[in-house]
Amino acid sequence: MTPTPSQPDQPRILLVDDIRANRLAMRRLLSRVDADIVEAASGEEALSACLDQPFALILLDVQMPGMDGFEVAELLSGQGDLSDTPVIFVTANHTDDLDHLQGYRLGAVDYLVKPINETVLLAKVRAFLDLYRARGEMQRLLRQVELYNDRLQQEVAERKRAEARALHQAHHDPLTDLPNRTHFYQMLEQALAAQPETVALIYIDLDGFKAVNDTYGHAAGDALLCAVAGRLRRAFREDDVVARLGGDEFAVLMTGIDRAHRNIPERQATVVVQALAQPFRLSLDGAMVQAQIGASAGVAYGDADGSSADRLMAAGDRAMYQAKHGGKGRVCLAHTADTSERAS
């Protein structure tokens, strides 16, 4: 098996003939085409060469001792990618149509009859080399398209992640990662527009938060707000919306509150006020600090205290301040606060 020196991406032609003189003659003819020539003196050598490297074209002698050209072609046709390699049978002039039919059945693309006509040989070989190069260029372009699509998909995915991060940041408090006031208003408006009679709002304000800030500094205040957010999340249902409105004010949107469970928001607000009255252990620069605060809460209902987000928030806020003025650490209902204000 004798190859010629190889150039990068240079197409290869496999020349298979058991007679050395025939191979030399064919090589001289093929010296005029831009391809590397690999020789094989038997069917076994031809199969070995095909397994080692790809070929643009195989010129395969039919009559060979041992494994003949038909057997080689049949084996190549069952070898996956090798079955796509075009095979031109080179045969003696006494072969009949039955031989040709057998060759085509085994995957031959053409026949050349000995003695070889130089013009015919070169024309056919160049045509197949052009097809090989065109297919290679098409595959190269397809790989480029695949790479471009991969990069495009990565860029689109990253852009979506960036947009999602930006949207999340626009809608959430950067310290506690709870929904912010703007996002809470939007969700409250949507809930009221859908079923106002099932909506409840709990407005919460911390008691004694400023003293923690003044005593231990703003880092302690930030840590305390994060701890408060954690307790609030754990106190409510997964569907309830816990938000930080700003400073030390929080709010909770509860939906699906029917008349049979009308007292749940008030009861839950009482549980939360009690939970926030428990001491907080804060880690500051490796040291543990205990902070003690409290909370006051107001509860308002969508069908009784406000048909819009603004009105319901105002009702909850008034109820919360009523709880503060009444001694802190308490829960007041909005309609109770309104009645007390009218009475005063």
Catalytic residues: 248
Handedness of CA 51, 56, 62, 63 (dihedral sign): negative
Distance separating alpha carbons of residues 248 and 218, to the nearest angstrom: 13
* 163 burial level (CB within 10 Å; 0-12, 13-18, 19+): exposed
- CA distances from residue 103 to 25, 97, 110 in whole angstroms, order as listed: 23, 10, 9
* 286 burial level (CB within 10 Å; 0-12, 13-18, 19+): exposed
Residue the block writes with tokens 């809930």: 191
Two tokens, residue 112: 């050349």
Amino acid at 140: R
Two tokens, residue 257: 């509150």
- CA distances from residue 158 to 161, 231, 263 in whole angstroms, order as listed: 5, 34, 46
Closest by Cα among 292, 291, 302, 289 to 334:
302
